[in-house]
Structure 1
Amino acid sequence: MKFYIIATLFFFITGTTTENIKGSVAFNKNTLEKIVPKFKAVLIKFDESYPYGEKQDVFKKVTEACLSQLEILTGEVHISDYGEKDNADLGEIYSVKKEDFPVYKLFLNGNIHDPLTYTGNTKSVEGIKQFMVENSGLWFGLPGCLEKYDKIILDFFTSDRSIVLNQAREIKKELSKEEKVSAAFYIKIMEKIIEKGDEFIEIELKRLKKLSEGKLSEAKKQQLENRVSILTSFKLNKPKEKVEL
């Protein structure tokens, strides 16, 4: 079914963008209303008619990262303030101002009325991806994360945590030097959760995000982004508590 939907959108994805960005849709009011409800998550960048430069390159990288996740779609709304004022109606509907371009909005579960607005750095690929992962619950791989460890996180929460922790330590022995850096952080998180409880995840996420707002070297900034990504994986894979009625 999803393949059929994507096939029917081929014209929009490949033929209507100002610049041909693979996997991206150029939206107007009609196409937005028809296409957005068909996906669990749609990230739309509201921007000028002919976007260019570093921020446009960031959008391309975000779109490329989303190609493997069929529940996510990315697109652009090009707004013109002259001539026929293309898509000015969408700018008004979603309260997007020219001076704020580019503005990213995330539409979830087919809801076209109340998208979430990204308030982070529009030059940060990882920041935008993090925003999508945290709010959509969908996973398409973030920097610093390791597939082998992501696969055992659910087991960590649903079975004997000490056994899974030992399993994580064994997996680390087989990894490359670079992978062991991330593996060590997965293991540290497991140890802290066992020691302090599940609430450690949110507390540590807030702490690291606050640290990342400071003046940091590129290496330190990347390290923090990787750690936030790994913590996000724990957050997404943690079973939601059932509410008794």
Structure 2
Amino acid sequence: MRRLLVLVSCFCACYASQSKGVVSLDSFTFDKVLSKFKVSIVKFDVSYPYGDKHEEFVKMSSVYQSIDELLVAEVPVKDYGDKDNEDLAIRYGLTKKDFPVVKLFVAGQPEPYTFTDEEFNQDKLQKFVSKHSKTIVYIGLPGTLEKFDQLAAEFAKEKLADQRKNILLKAENLWDSIEGKQKQRSAEIYVKTMRKALEKGDEFFHTETVRINNVLKGSMTNEKKADLGIRLNVLESFKVQHDEL
């Protein structure tokens, strides 16, 4: 890992990003750096990016600072002078009018995934990364837990009530072994979500998501807002798997 950090530092020393936590890449470093990471999320943009979308991308990068397998980067493209990095834009069929464009490169995948959600914000970007990276490395949403996400996937795919009850039992036992106040709270949300889904059916995943989003439109403390955000992220662990069936 130390060698990798030195490598990235050397590559980027002359191409320092103006965005904290985001590595700036160019035509010479792009392939070399991306090849060292299992997952890379890259924003192609103008040479001096600004605006809400740029700020949301930078906010997202701060969440992933501790994940060694994930690179958050940007490619500044100039359409004047030497037209730096224009070749990278051409490679992916991009023009200035498209910017910013976010692509997710996953090791083993021949082509990158493109972020297409109309809502360009930190939450949507994190869900985009989590959804498409799960086949190679676990990159969970804030407040989610890897082992519980695995159980959530099993639960969502299983149709037999008895089998779902067995998965719930595994989740309850795992909850008992979890340490730490925040992890305990997250584990509780997973378990209660499974219980409600057993009671009300898969429609609960949708109705609960709508309900929480409506509640978030009102006034509340930051603590309450954060808790509701974790509930939504846990629901996503069930919903994404269910939607892919």
Contact 1:65 1:140 in 2 (8 A): no
Distance 1:82 1:49 in 2: 10
RMSD (Å) for aligned C-alpha atoms: 4.1
- 1:188 and 2:185 correspond: no
Aligned to 1:9: 8
Q: Structure 2 counterpart of 1:21, which letter?
A: K
Aligned to 1:217: 217
Aligned to 1:204: 205
Match of 1:83 among 81, 84, 89: 81
Q: 1:193 to 1:21 in 2, by over 3 A?
A: same
Q: Structure 2 counterpart of 1:42, which letter?
A: S
Q: How does 1:29-68 map to 2 (within 5 A)?
A: 29-68=27-66
Q: How does 1:1-245 map to 2 (within 5 A)?
A: 2-19=1-18, 21-22=20-21, 24-109=22-107, 111=109, 114-121=111-118, 123-137=120-134, 138-145=137-144, 147=145, 150-154=146-150, 157=154, 160-167=166-173, 185-192=189-196, 194=198, 200=202, 204=205, 208=209, 217=217, 226-234=230-238
Q: Structure 1 counterpart of 2:5, which letter?
A: I
Q: For 2:191, what is the secondary structure of its paired residue?
A: helix
Deviation readout 1:137-158 (Å, 9 max, x if unpaired) = 144442343x4xx544546759
Q: 1:123 to 1:162 in 2, by over 3 A?
A: closer
- How far is the alpha carbon of 1:70 from its aligned partner? 0.9
Q: 1:65 to 1:227 in 2, by over 3 A?
A: same
Distance 1:11 1:121 in 2: 36
Q: Structure 2 counterpart of 1:95, which letter?
A: G
Distance 1:31 1:218 in 2: 46
Contact 2:46 2:78 in 1 (8 A): yes
Distance 1:67 1:127 in 2: 18
When normalised by structure 1's length, the TM-score is 0.70
Deviation readout 1:141-193 (Å, 9 max, x if unpaired) = 42343x4xx54454675993343354477689x958xx85x666423331255
Q: 1:219 to 1:139 in 2, by over 3 A?
A: farther
Distance 1:135 1:102 in 2: 20
The size of the alignment, in residue pairs, is 226
Deviation readout 1:221-244 (Å, 9 max, x if unpaired) = 988754442134457899xxxxxx
Distance 2:9 2:207 in 1: 40
Distance 1:133 1:57 in 2: 20
Contact 1:59 1:125 in 2 (8 A): yes
Contact 2:148 2:187 in 1 (8 A): no
Contact 2:148 2:190 in 1 (8 A): no
Distance 1:86 1:7 in 2: 25
Structure 2 gaps, min length 5: 156-162
Distance 2:107 2:239 in 1: 20
- How far is the alpha carbon of 1:85 from its aligned partner? 1.1
When normalised by structure 2's length, the TM-score is 0.70
Deviation readout 1:61-90 (Å, 9 max, x if unpaired) = 222211111111011111111111111111
